[in-house]
Chains A and B, each alone.
Chain A
């Protein structure tokens, strides 16, 4: 079973920041938080990941609470192309690679 909880859906206005929440209250000390997204009819796409510190890349920012029980993915200026299902996943790297356990994710709809 997925170890994360996300709301089923969220709407955002184009150009606005989209803040996508995720709860992972049972996360272990060595588990990372990963975010992937899946645009309709495509394979999932990696966005960002983090362990304890906040992270930022060209796609998004990841804010992890101090107790690591929840996190927020921030898309600073949402566009119509950001409409997708977003998956928050916790994963413990084990010797190189480990499977991803997906939940149902959260459908983000960016409206014009």
Chain B
């Protein structure tokens, strides 16, 4: 059973601070990694994808991947109240284009 683990939170950060969200996965052969944001009562929306070791930046968001440690993280700089949501880590299983395994998500609260 492929697993994706996340701390459920809530992770509380003050407005303007950096939020750091972490995820570990069990399938060592996984090649594709995604971060989704889900507001309460809404469907998940893709915010970042990462395929290679290292960092990938997009605006205030930075995804980090370490395949040796089987670890993915998402940094949100200058956190805003509108960033308050649940962040889902998702991993595409190796050897198939057909399965994406999600973590249970980390709830982020950005406080004023």
A and B part of one assembly: no
